[in-house]
Structure 1
């Protein structure tokens, strides 16, 4: 099977912002876009994107998960990057139209259709290092994907980093490509030097997030994760998992979590940790690496609460459980 996110549908839907107005959305080949080499995005990283999924239910219907939240976050990212203001209804229509076009290609569970809306500044001006792009492109790519856990969902090894952040503090809540690029160096070093799968950024002892996912700690009936602020990404999956945990009667604690508290709790029997994100839903964390020391989280294996929460979310996405929160957009 092809690597996750490397297969694309033949066409994408695209709209242009020029002369202060958005064009009508049109379908074009998804294998290329025309752009001047001096485009703002190529020099000053005026880009943001989203990741969401459409699922096929047993009745044949196609359902997009929490599209409204991803669109709101993309509008926020565009504003914070000073890209042209997107038309949220237009983006909703674009997403639904391209998914409908390729409805027959949406895989059955545990597969899905991964949806990647992208917004880039296109003005050809290398003199605008301190000014925003006046023009932009908004497009939506589709990629059919399989089960992210096809390798067995082995618990991850995380290296704790007290001396750095994933990105600039004021950029954390923006889903921008530059944030992921800035995290690559530390992630690759952690893999090479500590055999870690990911790095958990903990600047000044404050547990934040990894290079591409939110971090969640589960201690008995309590689920703990960092309170929302501008320094890290406000994950849609994170919010969904917390809602489901509350539905199950768990205590949801959105607050500061120090490295010292994390390590103290992690060593207790029964403690679990996980990363949340669109692709993996909940990926179990089995080991925390602190310098030369390795600390198992609970048993070091995938915990039952992680499995229960992941299943609860998958059941809603796949149509196997009632959508009590109205998270699905049925096409």
Structure 2
């Protein structure tokens, strides 16, 4: 797969950037050591990193990341959506892995530098956004099994379109019965790199079964619905909006939190409570559950049309996108693009 790193955004990449390959021109870096703290914050050209094979993160997994987006606004400017919430979650992830906390203001300064430099990659295409990826990893060259004493922070970006291709319709998902994504007391509620590799085998099996994503269940009873991939789930139950309550096993999504607020403002009844696979299947059969959708920074709001569970399957509602899903996606996009009053101060403007 070709990766764009050219000084001038090519029309081909801007027309169809996909997700995760159309990298922009710049990189922000900073370093931390136990002796000096954070230093050397700098904006430079996008470049490869040179790592010693004994770099600690490659062996012991001290690496955390985030994902957030910048959008063209109604007035033609550019703003990043809820970056301070990402900064706070980035800090929680680092603390959980015994890594140094990047101060919020350093996070925001790095963000301003990068987005201001690479904003020209954004067009007025409403399907496109600038996806910003902060990353911190243990860069000390030492294979002693302990927390590292040197870390590197990297901030990069790429132009992103739809996570599920062109986003033309609801996705089909598979319930994971053999593996769990996270364990009680583990790291399921932070964004560390080690959370993701163990999910890839099940994701492959889902693709082989004709599904686009995996539904993860609780690790104890394998009964309660928790996540879709790395996305939060919502159900429309008897007209109310229901989402699994946070248990510590899965990520407290910023998009999830945004949709809860937008739904309440729009007058929907909102509930956070457990939802079992049996509840989901029976609710779809009886007509009580009319819609299910997933949400996240990358996927925005994605409807679920069909669910595979072992040798069986069931359809959600009509199998098509429902009106609540469509309305909440529109509200989310309007908030991100500055088409709604920013009463919650979610938008961080870039000069």
Q: TM range, normalised to the smaller chain? A: over 0.9
Aligned residue among 109, 121, 140 for 2:138: 121
Alignment map for 1:40-119 (pairs within 5 Å): 40-108=56-124, 109-119=126-136
C-alpha displacement of 1:150:
5.7
- Per-residue CA shift, 1:110-136, capped at 9, x if unaligned? 2111110111111111122xx111110
C-alpha displacement of 1:32:
0.9
In the other structure, the counterpart of 1:280 is 299
What is the rounded CA distance, in whole Å, between the counterparts of 2:326 and 2:112 in structure 1? 31
C-alpha displacement of 1:167:
3.0
What is the rounded CA distance, in whole Å, between the counterparts of 1:59 and 1:42 in structure 2? 44
In the other structure, the counterpart of 1:142 is 157
Aligned residue among 185, 188, 201 for 1:185: 201
Partners of 1:167 and 1:183 within 8 A in 2 = no
Q: Which ranges of 4 or more aligned residues in structure 1 deviate by more than 6 Å?
A: none
In the other structure, the counterpart of 1:240 is 258
C-alpha displacement of 1:31:
2.5
C-alpha displacement of 1:158:
1.3
What is the rounded CA distance, in whole Å, between the counterparts of 2:57 and 2:137 in structure 1? 6
Structure 2, unaligned stretches of length 5 or more? 1-15
In the other structure, the counterpart of 1:37 is 53
In the other structure, the counterpart of 1:167 is 182
Partners of 2:26 and 2:118 within 8 A in 1 = no
In the other structure, the counterpart of 2:279 is 261
Partners of 2:18 and 2:163 within 8 A in 1 = no
Partners of 1:53 and 1:64 within 8 A in 2 = yes
In the other structure, the counterpart of 2:4 is none
Partners of 1:206 and 1:257 within 8 A in 2 = yes
In the other structure, the counterpart of 2:5 is none
Partners of 1:107 and 1:113 within 8 A in 2 = no
C-alpha displacement of 1:213:
1.0
Where 1:25 maps in the other structure, the secondary structure is: strand
C-alpha displacement of 1:4:
1.0
In the other structure, the counterpart of 2:21 is 6
In the other structure, the counterpart of 2:331 is 312
- How many residues of Structure 1 are paired with residues of Structure 2 in the alignment? 328
Question: RMSD in angstroms over aligned alpha carbons?
Answer: 1.6
What is the rounded CA distance, in whole Å, between the counterparts of 2:51 and 2:293 in structure 1? 40
Which moves more between the two structures, 65-74 or 155-164?
155-164
Partners of 2:26 and 2:117 within 8 A in 1 = no
What is the rounded CA distance, in whole Å, between the counterparts of 1:316 and 1:153 in structure 2? 22
C-alpha displacement of 1:148:
4.4
C-alpha displacement of 1:206:
1.2
In the other structure, the counterpart of 2:344 is 325
- Per-residue CA shift, 1:265-312, capped at 9, x if unaligned? 122436100110111211000011121111000111111110000000
What is the rounded CA distance, in whole Å, between the counterparts of 1:44 and 1:30 in structure 2? 26
